[in-house]
């Protein structure tokens, strides 16, 4: 399976609320760099992704772009306390699994909504 196919299935799964299916595309030794900090290993990533996905009220995949072993997903989500949050993930695929994630999203709307 190509990086494009893996990234598409991964992002479609979590934006539709299915964290476990998304995690099936992730390597056990994944490293994630997120606005909240660095996460290492599948269990740490599960603790990061599953609660976030569980709060989604809407998810939309805007695009998935890939070349070789790297892919970029672009998405838009709504959470109970904030709408229209855009984000992107830069994914590295190694041996058919996502091994590195750089997650980028604007935390400002979320922080403002919590005030």
Q: Is 69 exposed, middle or buried (0-12, 13-18, 19+ CB in 10 A)?
A: middle
pLDDT in tens, 33-42: 998 899 999 9
pLDDT at 63 over 70: yes
Q: Which two tokens stand for residue 37?
A: 């900090």
pTM of this prediction? 0.91
Residue with tokens 């809407």: 58
Residue 48 sits in a domain whose CATH number is 3.10.450.50
Strand-pair partners of 60: 76
Which residues constitute the domain of residue 31? 3-114
Q: How many domains does the chain have?
A: 1
pLDDT tens digits for range 78-95: 999 888 899 999 999 999
Phi, psi (degrees; rounded to nearest 5) at 41: 90, 155
**Residue reference for tokens 């949050």:** 85
């Amino acid at each position: 399976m190509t990086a494009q196919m893996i990234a598409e299935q991964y992002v479609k799964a979590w934006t539709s609320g299915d964290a476990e299916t998304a995690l099936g595309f992730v390597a056990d030794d994944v490293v994630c760099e997120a606005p909240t900090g660095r996460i290492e290993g599948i269990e740490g990533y599960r603790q990061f992704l599953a609660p976030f996905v569980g709060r989604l009220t809407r998810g939309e995949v805007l695009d998935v772009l890939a070349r070789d072993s790297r892919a970029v997903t672009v998405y838009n989500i709504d959470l109970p306390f904030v709408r229209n949050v855009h984000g992107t993930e830069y994914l590295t695929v190694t041996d058919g699994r996502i091994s590195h994630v750089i997650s980028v999203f604007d935390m400002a709307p979320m922080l403002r909504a919590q005030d």
